[in-house]
Structure 1
Amino acid sequence: MLSLKDFEAAEDRLKNVIHDIPLSTSHTFSDMTGAEVYLKYENQQKTGSFKVRGAFNKIMKRYAEGGLKAVVASSAGNHAQGVAFAASSIGVPSTIVMPRSTPIAKVSATQGYGAEVVLAGNIYDEAYARACEICEETGAEFIHPFDDEDVMAGQGTIALEILRDLPFVDMIFVPVGGGGLISGVAACAKQINPRIQIIGVQAEGAPAVANSLRVGELTPSETVRTIADGIAVKTPGTTTFEYIKQYVDRVVTVSDAEIASTVLLLLERTKQVVETSGAASLAAVLGSKVDIKGKKVVCILSGGNIDVSFIHKIVEKGLVTRCRHLKFSTVMPDAPGALERFAHLVAEQNANIILFQHDRVQADLDIGEAIIQVVCEVGGVEHAKRLIDNLNKQGYQIFTTQV
């Protein structure tokens, strides 16, 4: 098992490579939760995520041992960039196998660090299988994204930094995919202070670690479906799972809606671009998945490599989740002035219509009726309820709202 000396050695290898990112306090999120919330912005890290820590530590250790000629990795994006960066820094060629669903921005960034990118499969596990085939064909060395103790030691250096900034931290929330990050952080933190609680956070659509802990043995998910591509892993590592069983206190799950809402909050309140998997830790805190009242809590925001073309989808999802966009339908007379009257009533409530669809041919409508689909911009749940109540009083029956 990894010892504190392993984490300290990894930190020494990384000291002139990674960015020093101190903890940031958040009065906004502290007020929202009743805890002292601190954020570890690994989205600001070199290559845009924590993954560079483990990849660099592994490759530098192997390079020092001798015989490292070429490396291969499989990744949804962040590990890919870490491996490509580390390999290029010592002149070792790298090949990265990525799922076909990987955002273009992550593919381009990986190529920009000097790697050859191969797209294979639809999820990480299928890309991993192809990477293993390439290793057999070429004799290159595989750099595992999580199930490797040298990689885990690199990731665990985050815990050393957290404890220097906040020695009396009570809880650390960590996004979980394959388990490399949480294994390293948990093993390091618990050896320094066993009192610290380590909480893992998975997406509801990719809950393999949470399910495995519940049944007591490694249990892969049959399918994964989540917007958090960085933690969309079917099969966690066998080594990481042993560390998780020993050191992690609890693993909870968050929905895609909660993740999207958190990404939007981070954009609005902290002006930070955090990718969906990276925001999972804070989503669990804001969603009250664990009682944190009065605690000193750190959320590791594990990465910021989000495809710009995908951001608007996340923002739209977050706006709906937080009831900043209200979607509903209603039936009205198909007569002159009906639409004008409806729009006037909405405007009186200081709501803004941003999408409007009018249908007079739906089969279940009476002659002389039309149904409208509306999206309004509102200020939150209370504002939305006032709008709906007023429309109801004016004779409109409102359907399919999210309030």
Structure 2
Amino acid sequence: MQQHYLREILLSPVYQAAVETPLQTMPKLSKRLGCQVELKREDHQPVYSFKLRGAFHKLHKVAAKATAAGTLDSTRVICASAGNHAQGVALSASKLGLHATIVMPITTPEIKVSAVRGFGGNVLLHGTAFDEANRHAIELAKNTGAIYIPPFDDVDVIAGQGTVAKELLTQNNQLSAVFIPVGGGGLLAGMAVYIKAVLPNVRVIGVEPDDAACLEAALKAGEPVTLDRVGLFADGVAVKRIGTENFKLAQLFCDEVVTVSSDEICAAIKDIFEDLRAVAEPAGALALAGLKKYAQQHSQTGDVTEQTQLAAVLSGANLNFDTLRYVSERCELGEKKEAVFAVTIPEEKGSFRRFCQTLGGRAITEFNYRYASDNKAHIFVGIKLRNGAQELAQVTQALTDAGYQFQDLSDDELAKLHVRHMVGGMPPRLVNEQVYQFNFPEYPGALMNFLNTLGEKWNITLFHYRNHGAATGDVMAGFEIAEPSEIEGHLEALGYPYQLVSGNSSYKTFLTAG
């Protein structure tokens, strides 16, 4: 098996469409981490993503077979994608003389639809999510005779992605470890099989988001498993189930998996910009976030030193510009340069001044206040940290010594995404309220569908919506009901992914009466 992949990678024709991308040193981050950090710039591809490699390798074989049979002019290919795979297939098909149809969810941002059309793809909008679009693409392939091109779980796609590793080891054969982003696992599988064949001592480390760690779950279970839900920030790797072939290769050739938070991804996007003046998409910065986490942990044990050379793959730069709003808000938390707290302070004159004095002159980045009773108030406060975890410990000790009741919300996703913008939104009376968090599709009529299904059956007591440029937004909604069982059957029928968050401590502190 390894020999087959090695041969395919070495002889791959991907450079008829793709380019050899540079490996660049990140001097500022290298100095900060105490090791040499290098970034493989797959954002330099014509489609701004590594996905072109796998798509072209696969389609080149399809075109060769059709040419031999004399059917090239009538050969059609089809795929489903909301992003980088779509552009890779469209451009590859155009160069090879194939007719490509790309099924994209109707929620896909117009910038991505236009890019696919610009590369020659015929775009068909269908469904509100990838799974619906993918099922439709597979059905169309069966009905029309078009050839379905999978995004990651395919031996030819895997081999095409493996050409990244061939270039990388040619550019630097002294690496200690290579960090590779994992969605469906095609890039990891292709790179790992090549690296272990050529330089088996180089550690291969997959990196996943905390909220979309399908490879980590599969390795623990010993087989691919389907996650109940995945986070959407790093939408390029928001995959519920690792590819079957990819998992087999990962079991054999991947040494370790590191998971990172959305805040850590935001911090990595900022690092890339500050060192290289490049803007990565969240999935593109994922591997660097894992590298940073690994280096910080292993420098404490002496396993990472100034002589250690680490490389990460910047896998793509197809960023929705609105996402930068979220990144700028969260990167300081990801770098441990900011912490956010819920604190109860006395409701009296001079209380805020005394609280600031307790912080010892540290800068306050955010301050939200709400009167809670005649003798106390709840505040949501952001505090600037100059010295990371050490200074955070000093702040918590100072608050403890001053007798404040407080919660560190720096790792509370609901608090950072919603509650910080809603402090003070308490009802004027006690209500029986159940609160849910939804993934809300961005398409015309979605809100009316929600309101028509639920709005006239129950009193909506709270509703907060925020979108960061993705195909799916995030909604927090409250309903005046005593028990979740009263509504959850209807929520299932609605079809939007959801979870009950009524027990969340930040919600209880800032958004409930009494």
Contact 1:97 / 1:130 at 8 angstroms: preserved in 2? yes
Q: After the TM superposition, which of the residue ranges 187-196 and 117-126 deviates more from structure 2?
A: 117-126
Alignment partner of 1:280 is 2:286: yes
Q: Secondary structure at the match of 1:287?
A: helix
Residues in 1 aligned to 2:226 and 2:344: alpha-carbon distance in whole angstroms: 47
Q: After the TM superposition, which of the residue ranges 319-328 and 34-43 deviates more from structure 2?
A: 319-328
Q: Which amino acid aligns with 1:44?
A: H
Partner of 1:293: 304
Residues in 2 aligned to 1:121 and 1:201: alpha-carbon distance in whole angstroms: 29
Alignment partner of 1:167 is 2:169: no
Q: Of residues 320, 323, 328 in structure 2, which corresponds to 1:310?
A: 323
Partner of 2:7: 5
Partner of 1:400: 407
Cα distance change on mapping 1:268 and 1:310 into 2, 3 Å? same
Residues in 2 aligned to 1:148 and 1:189: alpha-carbon distance in whole angstroms: 19
Partner of 2:53: 53
Contact 1:186 / 1:198 at 8 angstroms: preserved in 2? yes
Q: Which amino acid aligns with 2:368?
A: Q
Q: After the TM superposition, which of the residue ranges 212-221 and 144-153 deviates more from structure 2?
A: 212-221
Partner of 1:242: 248
Residues in 2 aligned to 1:112 and 1:268: alpha-carbon distance in whole angstroms: 31
Matches within 5 A, 1:81-96: 81-96=87-102
- Any unmatched runs of 5+ in structure 1? none
1:83: Cα distance to partner?
A: 0.7
1:264: Cα distance to partner?
A: 2.5
Could you say which structure has the greater relative contact order, defined with CA pairs below 8 angstroms and 6 or more residues apart?
1
Partner of 1:26: 26
Matches within 5 A, 1:69-80: 69-80=75-86
1:43: Cα distance to partner?
A: 1.9
Cα distance change on mapping 1:372 and 1:209 into 2, 3 Å? closer
Q: Secondary structure at the match of 2:205?
A: strand
Cα distance change on mapping 1:101 and 1:264 into 2, 3 Å? farther
Q: Secondary structure at the match of 1:307?
A: coil
Matches within 5 A, 1:52-201: 52-66=52-66, 67-68=71-72, 69-99=75-105, 102-121=108-127, 123-201=129-207
Instruction: Give CA-to-partner distance per residue, 1:142-162, whole Å, 9 cap, x none.
Output: 111112222112111111111
Residues in 2 aligned to 1:260 and 1:401: alpha-carbon distance in whole angstroms: 20
Q: Give the TM-score of the pair, scaled to structure 2.
A: 0.68
Cα distance change on mapping 1:253 and 1:65 into 2, 3 Å? same
Matches within 5 A, 1:232-381: 232-288=238-294, 291=298, 293-294=304-305, 295-331=308-344, 341=353, 349=361, 351=363, 353=365, 355-360=366-371, 362=372, 365=373, 367=374, 369-376=376-383, 379=386, 381=388
Residues in 1 aligned to 2:391 and 2:274: alpha-carbon distance in whole angstroms: 19
Residues in 1 aligned to 2:114 and 2:313: alpha-carbon distance in whole angstroms: 25
Q: Give the TM-score of the pair, scaled to structure 1.
A: 0.85
- Any unmatched runs of 5+ in structure 2? 411-514
Residues in 2 aligned to 1:216 and 1:130: alpha-carbon distance in whole angstroms: 31
Cα distance change on mapping 1:400 and 1:47 into 2, 3 Å? same
Residues in 1 aligned to 2:375 and 2:225: alpha-carbon distance in whole angstroms: 57
Q: After the TM superposition, which of the residue ranges 214-223 and 278-287 deviates more from structure 2?
A: 214-223
Cα distance change on mapping 1:288 and 1:398 into 2, 3 Å? farther
Instruction: Give CA-to-partner distance per residue, 1:49-77, whole Å, 9 cap, x none.
Output: 10011112221232122235221112231
Residues in 2 aligned to 1:103 and 1:310: alpha-carbon distance in whole angstroms: 12
Contact 2:17 / 2:92 at 8 angstroms: preserved in 1? no
1:246: Cα distance to partner?
A: 2.5
1:396: Cα distance to partner?
A: 8.0
Residues in 1 aligned to 2:386 and 2:5: alpha-carbon distance in whole angstroms: 51
Contact 1:227 / 1:276 at 8 angstroms: preserved in 2? yes
Q: Secondary structure at the match of 1:400?
A: strand
Q: Secondary structure at the match of 2:212?
A: coil
Residues in 1 aligned to 2:182 and 2:173: alpha-carbon distance in whole angstroms: 23
Instruction: Give CA-to-partner distance per residue, 1:89-136, whole Å, 9 cap, x none.
Output: 344332222345545433332233232334445554443222101212
Q: Secondary structure at the match of 2:317?
A: coil
1:391: Cα distance to partner?
A: 7.6
Residues in 2 aligned to 1:344 and 1:204: alpha-carbon distance in whole angstroms: 34
Matches within 5 A, 1:196-215: 196-215=202-221
Cα distance change on mapping 1:120 and 1:235 into 2, 3 Å? farther
1:359: Cα distance to partner?
A: 2.0
Residues in 2 aligned to 1:158 and 1:117: alpha-carbon distance in whole angstroms: 28
Cα distance change on mapping 1:383 and 1:240 into 2, 3 Å? closer
Residue identity over aligned pairs, in percent, reads 35
Q: Secondary structure at the match of 2:63?
A: helix
Residues in 1 aligned to 2:289 and 2:251: alpha-carbon distance in whole angstroms: 23
Q: Which amino acid aligns with 1:211?
A: A
Cα distance change on mapping 1:6 and 1:368 into 2, 3 Å? closer
